Amino acid sequence: MHNTSPCSGPSRRSVLTATAALSAATAAGAGPAFAAAGGHRAKAAALVRRMSLEEKVGQLFVMRVYGASATRPAPEDVAANQQEIGVADAAELIAKYHVGGIIYFAWAHNTHDPHQIADLSNGIQKAGLTGRTPIPLLISTDQEQGAVARIGSPATLFPGGMALGAAGSTGAARSAALVAGSELAAMGVNQNYAPVADVNVNPANPVINVRSFGADPKAVASLVGAQVDGYQRAGLASTAKHFPGHGDTGTDSHYDLPVINHSLEEWNRVDAPPFRAAVAHRIDSIMTAHILVPALDPSGDPATLSGPILTGVLRRQLGYNGVVVTDSLGMAGVRQKYGDDRVPVLALKAGADQLLNPPDLDVAWNAVLAAVRSGELTERRLDISLTRILELKLRKGLFTHPYVTHRGVDRTVGIRAHLAAADRITERTTTLLRNDGGLLPLTAARPRILVVGADPAAPSGTGGPPTAVVAAALGELGHSASAVSTGIAPGQAQIDRAVAAAASADAVVVLTYNVTAASTQRGLVQALLDTGKPVAQIAVRNPYDIAQLPGIKAALATYSWTDVALRAAARALTGRVSPTGRLPVAVPRADDPAKALYPIGYGLTY
């Protein structure tokens, strides 16, 4: 990326208009003395007084939109927008509904490359600043790193939460957030839905798991606080999620409504500490969870719609005064008990401020509008949330500096220093769980290495299938390496092909992904062991795989299958670095899950 011109669309006049409107609103609402003194709350309140009811309602919503451009998306994206939202593009969305935020997704074609993302962000801000009341938008995404990253290479990618938990370093966690936050800010993304503050104490958790920093509440709290600090230094709004804690469930809230049966004492001991840490570090926003926690609210309402949880526990007990954003309102966990017209109204009544990604914006927007007009919601209640949102936008400087430039992208995103930092940090996360007989490291005495196994769908912007990435990394380290993908559910034909390829190898590296007792990956691993070749296993997601593979003599855990994690694993396999990661969760025994095969803190080295 060498273009250093400003991104297309915005102008200095737009910025000056927004700043002038803010100053005028402030002065009109509070007089010259206040205008001189400033103050985010009073400035926000002055803006609120200028806004129509329709604008106020719109500012509470954060919405998806299809397309790589705010005004000229591809025809298929225009069609998707018209079908789902009733508008052609982001600019029309903002003009019609006055939304206060937009969320980026790769599947919505928002995140092709850094310059395009910057241009899209600028187009969105220009649309927001040309409205009746000029207000910049909070542009958000889920850039947790690891398993959840909406923006891929050439942006710098770090390991996810559990990997950072394995490193056990608050400094590393803070640095990762600072770098990632700086790059997001350079692309015009000003709110990140990270860090994950859930304490993953359930190995069967299908939705959090490696996204969590681990199972030790104290360690998770320290890493959450460190990441909040890093994002704040980057000028980015961070979001601790998913309150009041999504770490002990075997149910995915995207598809059903999980129940967390922790007692009040358990919640205070296990789930609360990371959120308390986030509040202590002045977190900008906290995301709700679509879960039932009967100990906190026995009504049967999910936390997102629970006044006792959002207002009683989060606001009053934890003393949190910032922005509360719902998890996506399109998820089944929040839609089972009430209709899509009731959910946004009930979320606001419970204490939420931002309403994220409703399945039908027109239904949701009009439902809130109708609730105010009927008296179910007061306009004062909207003003309270709106003031918090505007204060956040003011604190992040969006009224004075809403736009980004290509030059800023080139100076920040994916630069050499950031990539080197990612490699250094990731090397500290790779965890050696087993090394019977000193099989590892693989030295020059075993020059030919076959890499086989699972190739889950690669996160956005990675270098290709994980087996190919590991083989390429081993090749760069001086080995002759080849790759055979067998998928996450290999059949006999794939197993036979892998066994045949192993015949000409000096050692085999097998990648596994979420191995269960019924997984055919177990058959693949056993067939490779039966060849008599040395076999090393890498768990590329959950570290629990090793419990299902008793015959394995050498085993590593990477906690993700992004390029940076796989390259670090290759360096550990060959002894270029010594693995120093320590398990942030316990690995239970397959025959007796109540007992630990490996405890928290376990890890070998060379």
Mean pLDDT by 10 residues, the chain (606 residues): 41 45 42 44 89 97 98 98 98 98 97 97 97 95 94 94 98 98 98 98 93 98 98 97 95 89 97 98 97 96 97 97 97 93 98 98 98 97 96 95 98 97 97 96 92 79 83 95 94 97 96 96 97 97 96 96 95 96 97 95 97
Question: CA 391 → CA 110, 324, 473, distances in Å?
Answer: 27, 13, 47
Identify the residue whose tokens are 């100990």: 295
Identify which of 521, 586, 585 has the alpha carbon closest to the alpha carbon of residue 551. 521
Number of residues in the chain: 606
3-state secondary structure of 104: coil
Catalytic residue set? 254, 327
Q: Model confidence over 389-445: pLDDT tens digits?
A: 999 999 999 999 999 999 999 999 999 999 999 999 999 999 999 999 999 999 888
Delimit the domains of the chain by residue range.
Answer: 12-412, 430-598
Distance CA 559, CA 168 (A): 14
Q: Are 354 and 323 in contact (CB under 8 A)?
A: yes
d(CA 8, CA 3): 12
pLDDT of the residue at 459: 53
Within a 13 Å sphere around the CA of 169, how many CA atoms are in the beta-carbon half? Answer: 18
Q: To which H or E segment does residue 367 belong?
A: helix 361-374
Predicted pLDDT of residue 458:
60
User: What is the b/e burial string over 23-59, where b = at least 16 CB atoms within 10 angstroms of the residue's CB?
Assistant: eebbeebbeeeebeeeeeebbbbbbbeebeeebbbbb
Per-residue pLDDT at 461: 52
The per-residue pLDDT for 217 is 98
Model confidence, pTM: 0.92
Say which CATH topology domain 12-412 has: TIM Barrel (3.20.20)
Parallel, antiparallel, or unpaired: how do β-strands 596-598 and 535-539 relate?
A: unpaired
| Region 430-598: CATH code | 3.40.50.1700
Name the CA radius of gyration of the chain, rounded.
Answer: 25
Strand partners, 391: none
